[in-house]
Amino acid sequence: MVHSPLLPKILVFLLVFPAVSGCVEDTVDSELSLSFSVDSLIGGELQILQIISSDRMSVLIPYLVYNPETTYIQNGTVLEFDRSYSSHTIQILVPPSSEECIFLMAEYGREEWPLRKTNESWREWVERDGNYLGLEDNIGAKVKSINSTFLSLERSVVTAGSVEYSFLDVLRPVREGISTDEGSLHGSGLIDGLTVFEMMEVIAVDGDFNDLWGPFTEPPQPDYTNALNFFAGELTSYGYDAQIHNYRTASSPRAENVCGYKTGNLYPDEWLVLGAHLDVAEPGSGPGGGTSIGAHDNKAGVALVLEAARGLAQFDHRRTIVVCLWSNEENGYDGSDMWIETIPSGVIVTNYLNADAVGTNWPGYYTLVVDCIPNYDDENLGDQWEMIGLLEWIGTDNHNTSEALRLGRVIFDTEGYASMKDVDSSDQKRQSISVHDSDRGRSDYERFADQLGVVSVDWGSLTGGSECYHADCDTLETMLEMMVIDNGTGKQSLVQSFDLIAWWIFSAAMHLDETPIYDKN
């Protein structure tokens, strides 16, 4: 069930409406409408919302909702209002940085619903009359389970008719005592980008977390051991069972990972894994000669995965959530390889989510590269279209990134993967996000796809095209300089980037806990 620290935050939003009775109608000739218990919802917070219907109708809610009957978060629901002025009370988690959320209305008992494209916003959908025309190729949502007040949904080919809609404003409080230039707009909610930045100020500065190479010695250098203990403490404080795994290998000679485990209540032997590599490029590494701090590659990935993990720990899950920080990624993936080799008998990894060399990207002038594998045809998009569609859907909702996603699709189709990872095109000032499948997996997510056949995802950005890739200038200061844009400071933009990615990983995990995505090729 939802942990108790959330309850005081959400109960304040519950308003009691007087009971109003109305006639039960089988058809509705007048325009449908909804009334809400609040004038606006708070972005990025789980909160209680009471909805009252004008008529007998069905209402689709395309956001994460808490189902008190199952005690899990589910990806949307359909509510049945069996008479005029009937009501439902829900706990809803609306996107953190959207200005509005939508509720779709149709005749009572509706099972098939039109939906927006994965890379368009709900407002764009309405403006093109999508509520009348539906989605291209008749892809929409269909009721999957009726054994609950909160009906579950699945994407499906549908022949749904038109629907009506109602928007409700979404507001996100700023972090008090912090200016906009310092990232206050993305400093509140279940998780937030400013908290990621604050973690970077601890682990990605010249201090206690330098020189996390390999490890190559037996025993490891004290700095590496201290880092493992620090992150184990963080995971424990979130509520995970934190473990430091030690392996002897032929090449390192040692691999050491720190992992946190939160056991699933329904399918404990199915593991949804999040990860980032903890090590940095040692002296002599190409192309930049190695680094000491490794802010972009990969302290940022570590901080982002930890923040997503902090949010996930606040909920119960169907499947076991595993969060790992890997060693030796820079030298052959020893950390993730050894972990994969020692997965307990009977355990299945359902999906893997990775963050590596990320943060200097949208809303900056570098492409945010979201890569899905396995991939079988690098010339065409679509080997993992189910995952691509899910990720675009989430990204569009969370931060109004539809235009950036469409531009990223164009760049991928016309210029290719290398143009986003290996070429610095920031002078073009393109604010873009590309979600795609490719055969360029160059991080631990490749190991999960190759060795386990698991559909895996990586969030990354410019690497080979940066003069600071695997170099001493891979620092937080460099990241801030790279993220200065025409209408925002480097910190403001970097915090927004961190917010987008942390929420994206968190939301993807929530969806994949309910419905894993498997490789169908």
Question: 334-371: per-residue pLDDT in tens?
Answer: 999 999 999 999 999 999 999 999 999 999 999 999 99
Confidence of residue 251 (pLDDT cuts 50, 70, 90): low
How far is it, in rounded angstroms, from Cα 361 to Cα 433? 8
Mean pLDDT, to the nearest integer, of 241-257? 84
Confidence of residue 14 (pLDDT cuts 50, 70, 90): very low
Does pLDDT of 15 surpass 50? no
For a pLDDT cut of 90, what percent of the chain falls above it?
79
For a pLDDT cut of 70, what percent of the chain falls above it?
91
Q: Is 85 left (phi over 0), alpha (psi -120 to 50) or beta?
A: left
As a three-state string, the secondary structure of 104-137 is EEECCCCCEEECCCCCCCHHHHHHCCHHHHCCHH
Determine the pLDDT at residue 380. Answer: 66
Determine the pLDDT at residue 147. Answer: 65
Does pLDDT of 21 surpass 50? no
How far is it, in rounded angstroms, from Cα 390 to Cα 413? 19
The class that CATH gives domain 207-514 is alpha beta
How far is it, in rounded angstroms, from Cα 493 to Cα 473? 20
Does pLDDT of 226 surpass 90? yes
How far is it, in rounded angstroms, from Cα 316 to Cα 90? 17
- Give 411 or 520, the one with higher predicted confidence: 411
Taking residue 124's Cβ as centre, other Cβ atoms within 10 Å add up to: 16
Segments making up each domain of the chain, as ranges: 4-171, 207-514
- What residues pair up with 104 in beta bridges, in sequence order? 60, 165
Does pLDDT of 293 surpass 80? yes
Confidence of residue 25 (pLDDT cuts 50, 70, 90): very low
Task: Give the least confident one: 4-18, 275-289, 308-322.
Answer: 4-18
Mean pLDDT of the chain: 91
For the stretch 70-123, pLDDT in tens is: 999 999 999 999 999 999 999 999 999 999 999 999 999 999 999 999 999 999
Mean pLDDT, to the nearest integer, of 219-246? 95
Helix H or strand E segment including 508: helix 490-514
Determine the pLDDT at residue 154. Answer: 83
Task: Give the least confident one: 23-27, 151-155, 301-305, 426-430.
Answer: 23-27
Please give the model's pTM, rounded to 2 decimal places: 0.93
Question: What SS3 class is residue 58?
Answer: strand
- Residue 83 CA, distance from chain mean position: 37
DSSP state of 297: I
How far is it, in rounded angstroms, from Cα 516 to Cα 510? 10
Q: Burial letters for 37-67: b for 16+ Cβ neighbours within 10 Å, e otherwise?
A: bbeebbbbbbbbbbbbbbbbbbbbbbbbbbb
For the stretch 259-291, pLDDT in tens is: 999 999 999 999 999 999 999 999 999 999 999
How far is it, in rounded angstroms, from Cα 357 to Cα 177? 30
- Give 149 or 43, the one with higher predicted confidence: 43
Mean pLDDT, to the nearest integer, of 137-165? 81
Helix H or strand E segment including 334: helix 334-341
